[in-house]
């Protein structure tokens, strides 16, 4: 086949023959495409700036805090400090409180979302008083509407409603125990729920852990220790305002022994007043500054306290202030602080006094031993021993150099251990560890950082099994074993 026929066969029938490109002369190629030098290929490239892909900030974790009372006790003040210093880029708090009061007002002033629900409302059954279904329905709707990812029952007063909410919603649950009486009051089904439903039970001190029988009735793997913290600078930088002592009726130069506590019999007021009577007989110039008021609806001790003061002949040397917001300034008016409470889970006011540079004399009540270093930052005496309490106070008032030295060492001691930043960081890491464990258990996929962390829910079958076992255990009269 000649070249013309080959071109026609390649073009196909009915199509014109495709032209064949002839090679150009070598001289023309050399003119059109000059030869590239080796240096053009080996020249160093100019440094390029790194490509930075902006990362969207992580959405905050949504946590619902359950509180039964709106009074301002130690647990409520601890929660307010927690919420005030938490990083809102990492935490979005929702406070669900059982009543209106100072706690809800202060939380709202901090910009915290607040909802008041009757958390203490129950059904009056023959043998049990479970949470009311209407209240639970309102709580579950609130948790779903606000896309809460975790429930934190900040005191065990709300443990029953928290257990029901966790069973019905499937959300992870964290308890905080700030009392040493619950270990003797919990029933078998409540121990079971702590061990199988709650993700963590947070204790504030070794005294609380001991009262909850950690390692015996309560699984130690579900317990976490978080030391309480306060805004130390608020007390370290406080000063006594001019004229404060005069407004309180405290003579200039008179030694002042202070007490800051709730007005209830459990705070050991009778032991303190017996010690105060002994101190007044030995040193009549001493004045006693009593700061505090009723916090819980059951606190009805003010009348009885005043009657004891009058009966012991202390009306002329005792100054009662009631509830005060200026506790840092009042602590500056005191020479030392006394705590006669026979049982404390921690003792937040002891940390506040130490941060103010004041020595502390306290009975050994469980929490005080973790704050006061006996003979270094204060004195520890046996509980219910008014004579030992009075002797320790008189010895420190007689040695002003030792009193001042103990106050300085107390301030340094609490600055190392009880800062608010440490507590907030501990809770943040605890929450995220709990959610990671819940995700691993549910085998859920990770969500993008630009969306709020989606709630990770316990499976329905698991929740049903826990509920049935707890229901069976609720018929047992008390813990066995």
Backbone torsion region of residue 244, taken as left when φ is above 0, otherwise alpha when ψ lies between -120 and 50, otherwise beta: alpha
Residue 99 reports pLDDT greater than 60 = yes
200-203/113-116 β-pairing = unpaired
- The answer to whether residue 49 sits within a structural domain is no
The verdict on 155 and 290 lying in the same domain is no
The verdict on 341 and 463 lying in the same domain is no
Mean pLDDT of the chain: 85
CA geometry: angle 370, 342, 174, nearest 5 deg? 60
Question: CA dihedral defined by 23, 28, 32, 35, rounded to 10 degrees?
Answer: 100
> What's the confidence (pLDDT) of residue 478?
58
- The answer to whether residue 31 sits within a structural domain is no
Token pair of 470, please? 């707890």
Give me Rg for the CA atoms of the chain. Answer: 35
The verdict on 340 and 390 lying in the same domain is yes
The verdict on 105 and 134 lying in the same domain is yes
Cα(97)–Cα(106) distance, integer angstroms: 12
200-203/223-225 β-pairing = parallel
The verdict on 464 and 395 lying in the same domain is no
Backbone angles phi, psi at 199, to 5 degrees: -75, -40
Here the CATH number for the domain that contains residue 347 is: 3.40.50.2000
> What's the confidence (pLDDT) of residue 200?
95
> What's the confidence (pLDDT) of residue 451?
44
Cα(287)–Cα(267) distance, integer angstroms: 20
- The answer to whether residue 306 sits within a structural domain is yes
The verdict on 388 and 458 lying in the same domain is no
Query: Are the C-beta atoms of residues 61 and 90 closer than 8 Å to each other?
Result: yes
- Proportion of the chain in helix, strand, coil states, percent, rounded to 5: 45, 15, 40
Q: How many domains does the chain have?
A: 2
- The answer to whether residue 48 sits within a structural domain is no
**Domain stop point among 371, 387, 417:** 417
- The answer to whether residue 368 sits within a structural domain is yes
The per-residue DSSP string of 94-144 comes to EEEESS-SHHHHHHHHTT-EEEE--TT-B---SS--PBPHHHHHHHHHHHH
Paired strand residues for 230: 419
Identify the burial level of 230 via C-beta atoms within 10 angstroms of its C-beta, where 0-12 means exposed, 13-18 middle and 19 or more buried: buried
The verdict on 186 and 124 lying in the same domain is yes
Give the C-alpha distances (Å, rounded to integers) separating 298 from 96, 266, 274.
21, 12, 24
| pTM score, whole prediction | 0.81
Query: Are the C-beta atoms of residues 148 and 61 closer than 8 Å to each other?
Result: no
Q: Higher model confidence: residue 1 or residue 48?
A: 48
The verdict on 142 and 244 lying in the same domain is no
- The answer to whether residue 468 sits within a structural domain is yes
- The answer to whether residue 163 sits within a structural domain is yes
Query: Are the C-beta atoms of residues 226 and 426 closer than 8 Å to each other?
Result: yes
Query: Are the C-beta atoms of residues 456 and 172 closer than 8 Å to each other?
Result: yes
Query: Are the C-beta atoms of residues 153 and 172 closer than 8 Å to each other?
Result: no
Query: Are the C-beta atoms of residues 61 and 150 closer than 8 Å to each other?
Result: yes
150-153/113-116 β-pairing = unpaired
359-363/113-116 β-pairing = unpaired
**Residue given tokens 């029933």 in the structure block:** 187
**Residue given tokens 């202060």 in the structure block:** 106
The verdict on 257 and 373 lying in the same domain is yes
Residue 452 reports pLDDT greater than 60 = no
Token pair of 89, please? 């880029």
Query: Are the C-beta atoms of residues 275 and 387 closer than 8 Å to each other?
Result: yes
**Domain stop point among 392, 417, 442:** 417
Question: CA dihedral defined by 382, 386, 387, 389, rounded to 10 degrees?
Answer: 60
The verdict on 437 and 395 lying in the same domain is no
- The answer to whether residue 81 sits within a structural domain is yes
**Domain stop point among 417, 435, 454:** 417
Token pair of 191, please? 């121990």
Question: CA dihedral defined by 267, 282, 406, 230, rounded to 10 degrees?
Answer: 30
pLDDT digits over 243-299, tens only? 999 999 999 889 999 999 988 888 999 999 999 999 999 999 999 999 988 777 667
Displacement of CA 238 from its chain's centroid (Å) = 24
Return the minimum-mean-pLDDT range out of 105-109, 413-417, 448-452.
448-452
The verdict on 217 and 188 lying in the same domain is yes
Overall average pLDDT of the 178-201 stretch? 89
Domain that holds residue 245: 233-417
Return the minimum-mean-pLDDT range out of 41-50, 341-350, 375-384, 438-447.
41-50
Q: Give the containing element (helix H, strand E) for 423.
A: helix 420-442
> What's the confidence (pLDDT) of residue 448?
43
> What's the confidence (pLDDT) of residue 473?
85
Other residues' Cβ atoms within 10 Å of the Cβ of residue 3: 9
Paired strand residues for 378: 360, 374
The verdict on 153 and 256 lying in the same domain is no
């Amino acid at each position: 086949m000649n070249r013309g026929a080959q071109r026609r066969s390649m073009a196909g029938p009915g199509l014109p023959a495709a032209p064949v490109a002839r090679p150009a002369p070598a001289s023309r190629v050399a003119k059109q495409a000059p030869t590239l030098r080796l240096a053009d290929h080996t020249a160093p490239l100019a440094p390029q700036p790194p490509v930075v892909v902006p990362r969207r900030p992580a959405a905050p974790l949504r946590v619902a805090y359950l509180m039964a009372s709106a009074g301002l006790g130690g647990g409520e003040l601890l929660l307010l400090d927690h919420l005030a210093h938490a990083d809102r880029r990492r935490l979005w708090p929702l406070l669900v409180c059982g009543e209106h009061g100072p706690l809800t007002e202060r939380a709202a002033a901090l910009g915290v979302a607040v909802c008041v629900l009757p958390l203490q409302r129950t059904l009056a059954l023959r043998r049990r008083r479970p949470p009311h279904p209407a209240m639970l329905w309102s709580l579950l709707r609130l948790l779903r509407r606000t896309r809460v990812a975790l429930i934190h029952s900040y005191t065990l007063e709300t443990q029953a409603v928290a257990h029901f909410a966790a069973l019905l919603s499937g959300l992870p649950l964290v308890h905080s125990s700030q009392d040493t009486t619950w270990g003797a009051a919990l029933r078998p089904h409540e121990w079971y729920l702590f061990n199988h439903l709650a993700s963590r039970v947070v204790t504030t001190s070794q005294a609380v852990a001991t009262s909850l029988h950690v390692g015996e009735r309560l699984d130690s793997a579900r317990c976490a220790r978080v030391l309480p913290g306060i805004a130390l600078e608020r007390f370290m930088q406080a000063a006594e305002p001019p004229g404060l002592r005069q407004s309180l009726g405290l003579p200039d130069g008179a030694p002042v022994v202070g007490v800051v506590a709730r007005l209830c019999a459990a705070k050991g007021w009778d032991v303190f007043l017996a010690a105060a009577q002994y101190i007044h007989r030995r040193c009549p110039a001493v004045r006693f500054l009593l700061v505090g008021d009723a916090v819980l609806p059951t606190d009805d001790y003010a009348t009885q306290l005043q009657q004891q003061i009058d009966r012991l002949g202390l009306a002329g040397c005792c100054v009662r202030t009631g509830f005060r917001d200026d506790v840092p300034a009042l602590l500056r008016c005191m020479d030392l602080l006394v705590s006669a409470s026979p049982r404390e889970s921690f003792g937040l006011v002891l940390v506040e006094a130490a941060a103010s540079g004041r020595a502390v004399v306290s009975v050994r009540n469980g929490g005080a031993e973790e704050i006061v270093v006996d003979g270094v930052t204060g004195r520890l005496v046996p509980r219910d021993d008014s004579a030992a309490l009075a002797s320790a106070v008189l010895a420190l008032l007689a040695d002003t150099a030792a009193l001042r030295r103990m106050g300085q060492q107390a301030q340094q001691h609490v600055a190392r251990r009880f800062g608010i930043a440490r507590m907030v960081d501990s809770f943040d890491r605890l929450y995220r560890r709990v959610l990671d464990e819940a995700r691993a258990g549910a085998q859920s996929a990770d969500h993008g950082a630009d969306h709020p962390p989606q709630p990770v829910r316990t499976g329905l079958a698991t929740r049903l099994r826990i509920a049935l076992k707890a229901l069976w255990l609720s018929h047992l009269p008390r813990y066995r074993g």
